Amino acid sequence: MVTTARVGVLALQGDVREHVILLERLGAEVVRVRRPEEFASVGGLVIPGGESSVIDKLTRMFGLAEPIRAAIREGMPMFGTCAGLIMLADRLVDAIDGQQTFGGLDVTVRRNAFGRQVDSFEGPVVVPAFGGEPVHAAFIRGPVVETVGPDATVLASLDDGTVVAVEQGNLLGISFHPEISGETRFHRRFLARVAART
């Protein structure tokens, strides 16, 4: 897939580099977003894994939180992995005191639902919307989606029914890290939405 989409990766904390490399491999022009003026130059945003409470504090400190919320309301495509899913959720379980999200996904997400770093694991996840082979997913202290409201759609669940991927309009959120395992289909889905809006 070749695209000329100009997209951002929120670059305040987390596994920014891996997303940038994968997006550039897919042909996107990528901006590391740390300031509102950088965010204003992109047509879509990836919110990477990391520590959601730190991402929350830093986006507020750098004046990015409100522009991101406004862009969500206006339909900008956004893709959140792990902590990024937490940041896109309307509701959190086990949040730290005062923790905020950008919102937009009609879901309730539980932070660190798979345990500590040592409990990380990898495995196949079937994504019916993709067809073909399952996604090879890396879960690293990942969140899970505990409830899905009527406005959101489940994209993937584990064998026990645990929801690990959802979408709503131009928003996509997943519990795992395709940028680490080399899986490109979620990033392609995100880039297609950015291209459709330009």
The encoded tokens of residue 47 equal 């919110």
Give yes or no: 133 in active site.
Answer: no
Give backbone dihedrals phi and psi of 136, rounded to 5 degrees, phi first. -90, 110
Q: How far apart are CA 20 and CA 119, in angstroms?
A: 26
Which one of the listed residues 18, 19, 167, 177 is annotated catalytic?
A: 177
Q: How far apart are CA 11 and CA 35, in angstroms?
A: 9
For strand 29-33 and strand 45-47, is the pairing parallel, antiparallel, or unpaired?
unpaired
Which one of the listed residues 18, 19, 82, 187 is annotated catalytic?
A: 82
Give yes or no: 19 in active site.
Answer: no
Summary count for the chain: helices (H), strands (E): 7, 12
CA-based torsion, 85, 140, 28, 134: positive or negative:
negative
Which one of the listed residues 18, 19, 167, 179 is annotated catalytic?
A: 179
Give yes or no: 82 in active site.
Answer: yes
Q: Rounded to 10 degrees, what is the CA torsion of 176, 114, 57, 75? A: 40
Q: Are the C-beta atoms of 51 and 16 separated by less than 8 Å?
A: no
Catalytic amino acids?
Answer: 82, 177, 179
